Amino acid sequence: MTGLANTNGRGNKQALVRDEILGRLDDLQVGDALPSERRLATELGVSRPTLRAVIDELVREGLLLRRHGSGTYVAEPKIALPLTMTSFSEDMTRRGMRPGSRVVDFQCLAAGAKLGQRLQISPVDEVWVITRLRLADDETMAIEWLHAPRRLLGDLRREELSDHSYYELLRERQAITIASGVQTIEPTVTSPEEAELLGVPVHSPAFLFERTTTSDGGEVVEFVRSVYRGDRYRLVTELRPALR
């Protein structure tokens, strides 16, 4: 899935160490201990402060946890919590800001196992992956990666993306109407690639949104992953009467 890599070719030692540690995490269970910092630093050929900086990141991201005097351990996964939301453009307009959107990349790929599962298609089926920036008053506020089964859109030209929303294209081409969806929101920190696109420092607090949307015929029509700047964003919820 594009947008997830945290080593965007800069190849500095921190990035390389991070890759290495993430690779090792694949082979570990929750609760397993990593080698000690001194040992890992030696093994990976970096200084201990450099290693610690990377482990600091992974701890902040909830992947690792440290215990003073004991060790560094693989952390436990997350819990879900529900709520609802309106669209970016609508919100920006309501705030007297001019919403904008810019496609920075789009390509067609085989779905693969994970994305195939999310979209409920075969892993070999093709998927459009569209990378867009969401702007308000010409400032980048969010990055969005839209994944849509190719069979729903057929061949696609960049101009079509600029001139129409995905939902409009679905309606026009396939007579498909959006019915419902599920979205998750997590706090995160920006990767180097995300930081560059958003114009913020690396490892800044941010919102990570992931949304799976279903048509009224019951099929999954998109999976969207977005990163919203935490320095320029907060969510506001209108609370309903008879709060529990």
- Closest contact distance (angstroms) between CB of 102 and its own copies is 18
- Closest contact distance (angstroms) between CB of 200 and DNA is 11
Tokens of 137: 């008053």
How far apart CA 181 and CA 207 sit, in angstroms, is 18
Per-residue contact string for residues 185-204; x = within reach of DNA by CB under 7 A:
----------------xx--
Tokens of 163: 């001139």
108 three-state secondary structure: strand
Binder of DNA out of 71, 100, 116, 181 (CB under 7 A) = 71
74 near DNA (CB under 7 A): no
The item of DNA, its own copies, none sharing an interface with residue 242, based on CB under 5 to 8 Å by kind, is: its own copies
How far apart CA 88 and CA 109 sit, in angstroms, is 27
43 near DNA (CB under 7 A): no
Binder of DNA out of 1, 22, 25, 53 (CB under 7 A) = 53
Distances (CA, A) of 213 to 8, 88, 148, 182, 221: 29, 16, 10, 7, 6
138 three-state secondary structure: coil
Please identify, among the stretches 44-52, 162-170, 177-185, 225-233, the one whose residues bind DNA according to the rule CB under 7 A.
44-52
107 near DNA (CB under 7 A): no
Q: What is the DSSP letter of 8?
A: -
How far apart CA 127 and CA 118 sit, in angstroms, is 12
Residues that bind DNA in the complex, under the rule CB under 7 A: 12-14, 34-39, 45-50, 52-53, 66-72, 201-202
